Chain A
């Protein structure tokens, strides 16, 4: 049946029914990530942070890039995940994988509960509400010092070897591979979701919510589901940070973290699955290099980078790339 469709179907149908197939270029980020492990053994700490932030930005892409929900509070999920994994570990639950799962579940529940309220609004109201929720949770974590360590941070986290085999080492080899494997699994899940009917209906909501209502789509339910999934993945990213750094500070819940992840995603290109994989390394490597060269003024370098993107590449680096490829083909 499938074979018949493919040979005789009009091009438009073929195009749609093949869109989910894996292209070779999609494996590129993974080849690079694996190569980095061998080529830059001294930079695995930075590499681990980049992988974790990529997961964070990937989860944001689902809700912001695909669902069109502009949020400035995604750090709420990242932070809640980090504290969940951290607090579990401090209290003796040192097994890392179940710690990740627990963090993801807690963040998903947070997403569902807040999403049901927040996602009834749109535009600036929604933006402000996401900000407010994150700020409230950050303040809650600050006040709950007995659990979170407050402004001193959560200390005394110990994590058992992964699967009882791989000990977290000083050179961050285990951390890097651990983060890479988790990111890879998350990518498989997110990729499946954005190509699924559910994912396409999210795109529909972003493109025209009025029309989605008019074709009988349960818009709120779809958005809440996406918000919870994105929240869960952000929570897992936060938990990875807590487990690999073995320390959690209030920074994980900060406005700065919420804002930076949006910037990194847009820098790469939102709503196209790979924006996170381009924007996050670009931003964090630029930040790392600038901080080394200009220890005082590095943030103005980032500023110039962002101005350039805002003026010349609204669709992010990937969009620039697409444009360049198109121009070359036309020649």
Chain B
């Protein structure tokens, strides 16, 4: 078996007596379109935080491209190709759309720490940011402040910032959350058009979106993996129906 883009082995996290992740073994293959679903409080966002390094696991390991990154900081993991978006927008609200993306690109290129050189004169960073916005169809908004944008557009900026890091693994934490139905189409199209070589893990409640995009689905319940399989297997699994899908219509 080739190296997974992202892998966790026996990942555990508990806060005192409360276990929020237990023995999670997970594989995200290179170039995968994988969804992580589960009822509220199943520990999906905790899992994302463990993978990105925002939280330290109590036990277990996180591997990126086969290399153990469990002890690395968030920043180091980003440098190794791991990017994420947030369930609730976490952008630089007072800065322009263009600069939001430019900051990410500057960090990736390793020029963000430069002290005595105007940021605007960095060769190519701003241009690259603009090109990224063009690809996502939001270049018209480039000079607007993020806080002035409608929420759905802000979700696109979230994705643009993550893509600016040129990730090999992209974690999308509920990319369509809070987006009105009329605008969610753009989000889906954007996700569908992501470069094939990026391994994408989507955490999502919207089953339409999950079944439309994911080639593989993992179901998380109370901090552990209930089942892992193709969309058809998941849709047909009685345990899944029982804990989760019962309340949703399965296509």
Contacts and interface: CB of A to CB of B under 8 A. Distances in A.
Contacts of B118: 19-20, 192, 195-196
A201 to B, nearest CB: 5
A140 to B, nearest CB: 32
B75 A213 contact: yes
Given A215-B165, A216-B74, A197 B122 contact: yes
Contact of B103 (A5, A13, A200): A200
Contact of B143 (A15, A20, A215): A15
Contacts of B94: 207
A12 interface: yes
B169 interface: no
A288 to B, nearest CB: 35
A204 B86 CA distance: 16
Contact of B117 (A18, A196, A210): A196
Chain A interface size, under 10 / 10 to 19 / 20 to 34 / 35 or more: 35 or more
A5, A12, A214 interface centre (most CB from chain B within 10 Å): A214
B223 interface: no
A218 B92 contact: no
Contacts, number: 133
A12 B121 contact: no
A195 B119 contact: yes
A211 interface: yes
Interface in A1-56: 5, 9-13, 15-20
A207 B93 CA distance: 7
Contact of A198 (B84, B91, B112): B112
B154 interface: no
B90 A216 contact: no
Contacts of B198: none
A193 interface: yes
B127 A13 contact: yes
B113 interface: yes
Contact of B120 (A18, A198, A203, A221): A18
Contacts of A111: none
B96 A12 contact: yes
A210 B92 contact: no
Interface residues of B, number: 48
Contacts of B113: 197-198, 201, 218, 221-222
Interface in A305-322: none
A199 B95 CA distance: 13
Contacts of B78: 214-216
A43 to B, nearest CB: 35
A9 B76 CA distance: 34
A287 interface: no
B79 A215 contact: no
Interface of B: 52, 54, 74-79, 83-84, 86, 90-99, 102-104, 106-108, 111-122, 126-127, 130, 139, 142-143, 161, 164-165
Interface of A: 5, 9-13, 15-20, 192-193, 195-201, 203-204, 207-208, 210-211, 213-219, 221-222
19 contacts: A11-B143, A13-B98, A16-B98, A17-B121, A17-B126, A19-B118, A20-B118, A20-B120, A196-B116, A196-B118, A197-B112, A198-B113, A198-B114, A201-B113, A204-B103, A211-B86, A214-B90, A215-B161, A218-B75
**Pairs A-B, 4 closest by C-beta atoms:** A216-B78, A12-B142, A17-B120, A20-B118
Given A16-B96, A197-B122, 20 more contacts: A5-B127, A11-B143, A12-B139, A16-B98, A16-B99, A16-B120, A19-B118, A20-B118, A193-B115, A195-B119, A196-B118, A197-B119, A198-B113, A198-B115, A201-B107, A201-B112, A207-B92, A216-B74, A216-B107, A219-B75
